[in-house]
Chains A and B, each alone.
Chain A
Amino acid sequence: MQILVNGDSVEVASGLSLLALLERIGKPSAHVAVEYNGDILERDGFAAVTLRENDRLEIVHFVGGG
């Protein structure tokens, strides 16, 4: 199925959780802020989100340094 990640169409397996997607694309869950269909998500909730066709994700990944 297709979902939108940061504006780009991405093909993912149906039934994939948000946490599994983050692992797959190599983004540590503690280092991202995620909006799921326009709502900001608490990190503890990433595992409970099962992605569905046409979901919109915005993933901001932070690397260290300041």
Chain B
Amino acid sequence: MAEASTIEVRVNEQLTQLPRRTTLHAIRNQFKPHADLTILNGFPVAADAAVANGDEVILIRRGEIPSPDELEALLVARHSPGVHERLKRSTVGIAGCGGLGSNVAISLARSGVGKLILVDFDLVEPSNLNRQQYFVDQIGLPKVEALAANLGRINPYVDLVLYPLRLTKSAVSQVFDHCAVVVECFDDPAGKAELAFAMRRELPAIPLVAVSGIAGYGPASTITSKRVLGNHFLVGDSVSAAMPGRGLMAPRVSLAAGHQANLVLRLLLGAISEHEGQ
């Protein structure tokens, strides 16, 4: 068979047929001559370079507000190639929207996860603002509503389902039934243990990414993640309970939330095999 005379390249998310041996600068000149940022397969490239079949090219003019149909592609332009479609199809449950949950939700929305189920019974309070991703003008709002508003300002293409309620053991299977992964972001240790139990009992095929031991300002490197209970993961140092004299501080809480969000991406992208530690 003769070699094809064209290649398929995604240019600002549009699948485009281009002549073989085309280059980045030729594409820029054809599609967006005033672009001052060219991203090839998730990485900015200044020099001209050959483009191959299957490549993804994003052209951005700094300061320009893109059209709505271009925006979603541009939001994920720095992702590793091939990641966006898989994340976009995924649903993740977030149990608790406090310090952990609000940080995890923001990371996952920035990553382009398609759908988030947000569960929290509480309202935003002044004492939350030391570590939770809310603002002074949101004090008094239900956390799920405040978080939905903040996520919408970051990535309006994430589908959000809000449950402003206290999650009981019996509701777990209904609320998280369609999730690929659930993230445990509660404060109370009894609630954490109950959710782990309910997930193993009711939804044993769905991984849970839970947390234990994140209070204070101990070393960042003692926060680790390990596999427990089959397909569950546990993030934290296992010992640093929040207690009188040891509060919850933004850095360690967001470190743990970063571990959780990264584990979620690894699970969604199939980067963790069934029996691997993580």
Contacts and interface: CB of A to CB of B under 8 A. Distances in A.
Interface of A: 28, 30-33, 35, 40-43, 58, 60-66
Interface string B214-231: 110000000000001110
Interface of B: 96, 98-101, 185-190, 192-193, 196-197, 200-201, 210-215, 228-230, 232, 234, 236, 238-243, 248, 253
B240 A63 contact: yes
A29 to B, nearest CB: 9
B189 A58 contact: no
**A33, A35, A41: most-surrounded residue (chain B CB, <10 A):** A33
A8 to B, nearest CB: 14
A33 B193 contact: yes
A64 B241 contact: yes
Contacts of B196: 33, 60, 62
A6 B185 CA distance: 23
Contacts of B96: 66
B229 A64 contact: no
Contact of A33 (B186, B187, B197, B213): B197
Contact of A62 (B98, B100, B192): B192
B218 to A, nearest CB: 12
**A35, A41, A42, A65: most-surrounded residue (chain B CB, <10 A):** A65
8 contacts: A42-B201, A63-B215, A64-B187, A64-B243, A65-B241, A65-B253, A66-B101, A66-B214
Contacts of A58: 228-229
A22 B83 CA distance: 43
Given A31-B189, A58-B228, A65 B200 contact: no
Given A60-B234, A62-B189, A65-B242, A40 B210 contact: no
